[in-house]
């Protein structure tokens, strides 16, 4: 990929609400044409960060640049960024058309240019026949599209999206994910997307910034964040995992040799491990094979619980007093299911586990 310009630079941004520190020296860059996601549990500071980009909040310390220009002194209406609000915030007294044209009028666009742009936006979100409706005559998904069209119409340098899919039902949410992604590719506008839904983030983003307790926990591609989490917080927050308290025997470069409570020695990739100290071994449920798929390090255990999820089944397996969550796809072994109480063999490859020092 060719080197890209920096759309947004956030430098050492901190935010205090009274005595509560919501953000602690957060720094990152967002590139042009990127689908960038701020992901974290509620209260992690992701929405505060988004509001700072829009201009509704100011950091206590730090700086934010938009395409090289500092923007913290600019009021919201002078920043070339637009927001898709969680509640959509469509103007109830204006028609769909007037909502979309609102920003264009304030920017002083000539009437014919404004009309053409509004029509193009309506077409883009497939809402042309609803141009004269009022927002209260639209469904949730339709409002969502209008909110998107309204925010994209003024050709912002960056589009901010504040949990825009959270108010939609599951089926619609899936469809809107694809639509959002396509829209981003087609318009080439940088998207900054805020969500607490890890699946949404993994599905749509170019890069994800995982926030927790006011700090950046991990910044990387969806694959990096899931496969090579920076720390326990990220491993735990993204997807599901088994944690084993281990003792670090030896650290060599990006690998470590550790000993599990069962006495098993494992050598695999590590982050933050220090020889002689305690660490956690993270093992994803889907990376543990069961019975005929048990390869690598093999353990015997007994199934204590089973959750049938349709496409796959979650088992809880007790191995000498340690509980493992094991996920098994149902497609491979058609109709085969293991009853709780059954003794099974589990197996995992050493390099599919991760040693996390922090």
Stretch that binds other proteins, among 41-49, 85-93, 213-221, 264-272 (CB under 8 A): 85-93
Distance CA 135, CA 307 (A): 42
Instruction: Choose which of 50, 54, 204, 246 interacts with other proteins (CB under 8 A).
Output: 54
Q: In the complex with other proteins, which residue's Cβ is closer, 5 or 140?
A: 140
Does position 110 interact with other proteins (CB under 8 A)? The reply is: no
Asked whether 221 and 207 are in contact (CB, 8 A), the reply is yes
Q: In the complex with other proteins, which residue's Cβ is closer, 89 or 344?
A: 89
Does position 150 interact with other proteins (CB under 8 A)? The reply is: yes
Does position 131 interact with other proteins (CB under 8 A)? The reply is: no
Distance CA 256, CA 356 (A): 10
Q: In the complex with other proteins, which residue's Cβ is closer, 89 or 131?
A: 89
The minimum distance between CB 104 and other proteins, in angstroms, equals 9
Q: In the complex with other proteins, which residue's Cβ is closer, 79 or 284?
A: 79
Stretch that binds other proteins, among 75-83, 178-186, 187-195, 322-330 (CB under 8 A): 75-83
Does position 270 interact with other proteins (CB under 8 A)? The reply is: no
Does position 358 interact with other proteins (CB under 8 A)? The reply is: no
Query: Which one-letter DSSP state was computed for residue 259?
Result: E
Does position 75 interact with other proteins (CB under 8 A)? The reply is: yes
Q: And the tokens for 238?
A: 């993204």
Q: In the complex with other proteins, which residue's Cβ is closer, 17 or 56?
A: 56
Asked whether 319 and 300 are in contact (CB, 8 A), the reply is yes
Does position 92 interact with other proteins (CB under 8 A)? The reply is: yes
Instruction: Choose which of 5, 17, 27, 56 interacts with other proteins (CB under 8 A).
Output: 56
Does position 48 interact with other proteins (CB under 8 A)? The reply is: no
Within 13 Å, how many C-alpha atoms sit on residue 203's CB side? 15
Convert 18-27 to b/e letters by CB count within 10 Å (16 or more is b). Answer: eeebbbeebe
Q: Give Cα 3 to chain centroid, integer Å.
A: 24
Does position 134 interact with other proteins (CB under 8 A)? The reply is: yes
Does position 45 interact with other proteins (CB under 8 A)? The reply is: no
Distance CA 226, CA 220 (A): 9
Does position 143 interact with other proteins (CB under 8 A)? The reply is: no
Does position 77 interact with other proteins (CB under 8 A)? The reply is: yes
Instruction: Choose which of 41, 76, 141, 261 interacts with other proteins (CB under 8 A).
Output: 76
- Number of shown-chain residues binding other proteins (CB under 8 A): 26
Distance CA 115, CA 108 (A): 13
Distance CA 280, CA 357 (A): 6
Cα–Cα distances in Å, from 126 out to 50, 143, 183? 28, 12, 12
Distance CA 48, CA 104 (A): 27
Cα–Cα distances in Å, from 172 out to 126, 138, 203? 15, 14, 15
The neighbouring-strand residues paired with 306 are 315
Instruction: Choose which of 73, 93, 186, 321 interacts with other proteins (CB under 8 A).
Output: 93
Does position 89 interact with other proteins (CB under 8 A)? The reply is: yes
How long a stretch of residues is the chain?
A: 358
Does position 83 interact with other proteins (CB under 8 A)? The reply is: yes
Q: Which residues bind other proteins (CB under 8 A)?
A: 54-56, 75-78, 81-83, 85, 87, 89-93, 102-103, 106-107, 134, 136, 150-151, 154
């Amino acid at each position: 990929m060719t080197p890209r310009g920096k759309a947004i630079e956030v430098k050492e941004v901190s935010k205090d609400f009274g005595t509560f520190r919501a953000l602690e020296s957060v720094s990152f860059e967002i590139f042009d044409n990127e689908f960038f996601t701020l992901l974290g549990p509620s209260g992690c500071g992701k929405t505060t960060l988004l509001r700072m980009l829009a201009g509704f909040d100011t950091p206590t310390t730090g700086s934010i640049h938009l395409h090289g220009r500092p923007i913290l002194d600019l009021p919201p209406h002078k920043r070339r960024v637009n927001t898709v609000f969680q509640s959509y915030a469509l103007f109830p007294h204006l028609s769909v058309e007037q909502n979309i044209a609102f920003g264009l009028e304030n920017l002083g666009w000539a009437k014919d240019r404004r009309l053409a742009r509004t029509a193009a936006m309506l077409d883009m979100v497939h809402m042309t026949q609803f141009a004269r409706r009022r927002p209260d005559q639209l469904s949730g998904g339709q409002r969502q599209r209008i909110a998107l069209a309204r925010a994209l119409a003024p050709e912002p340098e960056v589009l901010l999206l504040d949990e825009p899919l959270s108010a939609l039902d599951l089926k619609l949410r899936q469809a809107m994910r694809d639509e959002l992604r396509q829209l981003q590719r087609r318009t080439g506008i940088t998207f900054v997307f805020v969500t607490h839904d890890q699946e949404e983030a993994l599905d749509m983003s170019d890069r994800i910034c995982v926030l927790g307790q006011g700090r950046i926990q991990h910044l990387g591609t969806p694959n990096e964040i899931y496969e090579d989490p920076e720390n326990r917080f990220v491993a735990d927050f993204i997807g599901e995992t088994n944690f084993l308290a281990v003792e670090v025997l030896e650290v060599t470069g990006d690998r470590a040799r550790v000993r599990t409570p069962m006495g098993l020695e494992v050598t695999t990739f590590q982050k933050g491990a220090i020889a002689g100290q305690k660490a956690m071994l993270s093992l994803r449920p889907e990376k543990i094979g069961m019975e005929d798929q048990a390869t690598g390090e093999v353990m015997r255990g007994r199934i204590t619980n089973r959750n049938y999820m349709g496409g796959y089944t979650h088992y809880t397996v007790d191995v000498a007093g340690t509980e493992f969550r094991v996920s098994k796809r149902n497609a491979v072994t058609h109709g085969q299911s293991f009853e709780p109480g059954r003794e099974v063999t589990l197996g995992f490859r050493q390099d599919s586990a991760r040693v996390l020092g922090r």
